[in-house]
Structure 1
């Protein structure tokens, strides 16, 4: 996770961070809630003028009271993010970020050296808030606090345990998070990932120059997984920013495989977001151009995204050509396991393409092959939804909706990611308006919220 730039107006102080968070919540409101929220509308709902909201978002002003913060939190549907952060912002909002970072370093150094707080010149309340800001508390990520992670890190320091780890350590950490991403509910996987992103940030901030490039590669991979999970949770605005961070970290690392992997993955996950199909296709082809002739997992991701996008566009022959190319590349590359690329992925893409293309027999064979490869729950669930698309294409409209309803009902709500519900919505697109008798049950199953 890159450190905030020292000259950035966005993060000069906690007030700037708080304002940026409000702006990000407003920008992502349409993706999260389904309707646009302008600055004027936010102002009206929160009891402010638009000009004051603008000042708050720029970090030039703060809400006057906690009641005002709750009004903003409710208007933005922020689920308590603003109210949780408000006590720290209220106390330390105008302090420069660099001063806060130095103060937290003094606190943790004092605990490490003599078990007492080394900060002077402030009262107990300020010490407590600064202590909360330690270990990347500047970002007020609740998993760090809720799991006691900041306490664990200070305990390690008191024991003289060096922070961070080797590149091999971080490779193993990434592999662990990848397994969690594939098997755990997305919210749980995201919370755990945030903690290690904080640790990586700390190590990058003090690492010698000869280690930075390798850590940037790890930062790219972990940021890619973070964007992946945010997409699964439907937090599309935040996901876009994390995709950008992943690209920047990958480019800084100069690792071509990582650069292509991040871009190919972004194209695949663009299919499960509000992005236009044209923009997803552009992403996929851009990643392929970057790979040139290099056989790398990112190239396979990019070709997968291209094939799936063409299928949704109705360009069946082009989609089938891309699928054939994908299988040829997989056979040549032997890349199973790298970056989490698994053997069932090509069959999953075939299932998608043939389901949209109306080739029910080829779709069924691809589904069977996907299941035979012991896929993660995401793919196992989604290929059942591919079956519903295939059924609808064959004229079984209500049968398709009933199948979707059953698939979603069978799935624990904690695992019901937006990737799954996004595919479920595509099934409805294949059913004519006058053939939707099973629609009420379908809608009930589709709209069950994901636990937070």
Structure 2
């Protein structure tokens, strides 16, 4: 005999720990939640009886034609489904708020209306709003596209152009949201709404997520409670810009993934926060560099695209130029066509205009290197000269900043070394190498090794083949395995390519070529 549709809902153990359930709760995507319940044998009538919503309206919600919009209805759903405390926090509910704490609705009437402004509702809030309204369509895109990305590297901050950008103050009617806070479903002022959403997101992230994400979410929630807001995420990005040179790639990538997961969730609640979006662009850029450095070039290109989109959305010209600058230089090492690298460089130079900044210096350096590899020596040398003139005009703050956001002198010398080596001006190249090697600190072993590989190429071009091969082997032996990366190996491969054809078959050349064919295990000990 069929089970009665009004039989109380019984869910399997672990239901509220499922990743798809957690994503739906954090996004407040009740349509998806009800669909998951349906797949677990719950009828629409059972769900409706449990949460005190009619079966016809349950059907509309599941089809995406209506959307639950208010806190009291979400509370009824949480109570009716007997959600455990961690699920309630993911949905943004207090763990102490039960049915006795809210006013039950005498009826549940929804009118088919074109916008949230015209919904008739008990009290001040709509119970359910028409899902076709412009504001809810935007919010739906934010939640449906962003929430499933929790903990996934590739989709963190993905397609930021789809994020809505309502005003900071929910009461000012910007971005198509209702100007009346009662009509928007928020009775608190804008600050309290954002604060509540911030805490809901961070609390939700402490459940069912990787340990680093949970730890950072806890730290952020404590800092927010104490009022530690402002530019904290840009400070975190600055820390990464320094840590890049001293931290193993596997550790750096894991830490970045944790922070990007949190930034991605915060952007759902704060899509108009330009500082947060700028930080997301910086962190995405550094993730792209890590992926490029570890040879994961196909994934890196996706992150470069995300970094550019987030930078553009932030409106910050400095980070817009910097993300493209870094991509131009790193594009020389990820196998992309040189024509594409040069096109990106020209686009970035036009974008930067007359700014004097590290980002413009970086893109001039990348352009000079691309021209040298392309066999255009005169243009490459002109580009290096333009870079030198720009460096002379660089503010002291940029020249002493040894992070990836600065432009210390050794970057100019590195560029000169690269370009002069490629165009065969070995004397000037070796002079630039000497100057760069004197400037590098102990923390810049990877950059030092790259310049030393330029010297290998110079030695080979000067027909000191044996010396060059021995020098290359010594560079690789001296550098800890965890510092070996795609950038160094690409420079080494170009040095080997300089060996005359008649010498290419020598055993020591084959041995060196084999050694730089694939990256070693990045998790190996030093």
Alignment TM-score, normalising by the size of structure 1? 0.68
In the alignment of these two chains, the number of paired residues is 344
What value does the CA root-mean-square deviation take over the aligned residues?
3.4
Per-residue deviation at 1:421? 0.7
Within the alignment, does 1:396 sit opposite 2:459 as a pair? no
- Unmatched 5+ residue regions in structure 2? 1-13, 34-85, 97-146, 155-204
**1:350 — aligned with what?**
416
Per-residue deviation at 1:140? 4.7
Equivalent of residue 98 in structure 1, options 16, 20, 24: 24
Whether contact under 8 Å (2:213, 2:261) holds in the other structure is: no
Structure with the higher fraction of residues in helix conformation: 1
Deviations 1:56-88 (A, max 9, x none): xxxxxxxxxxxxxxxxxxxxxxxxxxxxxxx99
- Unmatched 5+ residue regions in structure 1? 1-86, 115-134
Equivalent of residue 413 in structure 1, options 475, 481, 486: 481
In structure 2, relative to structure 1, the CA distance for the partners of 1:305 and 1:163 (3 Å cut) is farther
Equivalent of residue 201 in structure 1, options 260, 264, 281: 264
Report the Cα distance in structure 1 between the residues aligned to 2:226 and 2:326, rounded to whole angstroms. Answer: 30
Within the alignment, does 1:440 sit opposite 2:510 as a pair? yes
Per-residue deviation at 1:149? 2.3
Per-residue deviation at 1:106? 2.5
Within the alignment, does 1:368 sit opposite 2:410 as a pair? no
For 1:183, what is the secondary structure of its paired residue?
coil
Whether contact under 8 Å (1:163, 1:203) holds in the other structure is: no
Deviations 1:1-35 (A, max 9, x none): xxxxxxxxxxxxxxxxxxxxxxxxxxxxxxxxxxx
Whether contact under 8 Å (2:151, 2:257) holds in the other structure is: no
Whether contact under 8 Å (1:184, 1:415) holds in the other structure is: no
Q: Counterparts in 2 of 1:54-65, with a 5 A limit?
A: none
In structure 2, relative to structure 1, the CA distance for the partners of 1:285 and 1:141 (3 Å cut) is closer
Per-residue deviation at 1:159? 6.5
Within the alignment, does 1:298 sit opposite 2:298 as a pair? no
In structure 2, relative to structure 1, the CA distance for the partners of 1:397 and 1:241 (3 Å cut) is same
Per-residue deviation at 1:379? 1.4
Equivalent of residue 166 in structure 1, options 196, 208, 229: 229
Per-residue deviation at 1:307? 0.7
For 1:341, what is the secondary structure of its paired residue?
coil
Deviations 1:409-436 (A, max 9, x none): 2221111010111111111111123213
Highest CA radius of gyration, 1 or 2? 2
Equivalent of residue 232 in structure 1, options 268, 280, 293: 293
Whether contact under 8 Å (2:151, 2:209) holds in the other structure is: no
Per-residue deviation at 1:148? 2.1
Alignment TM-score, normalising by the size of structure 2? 0.59
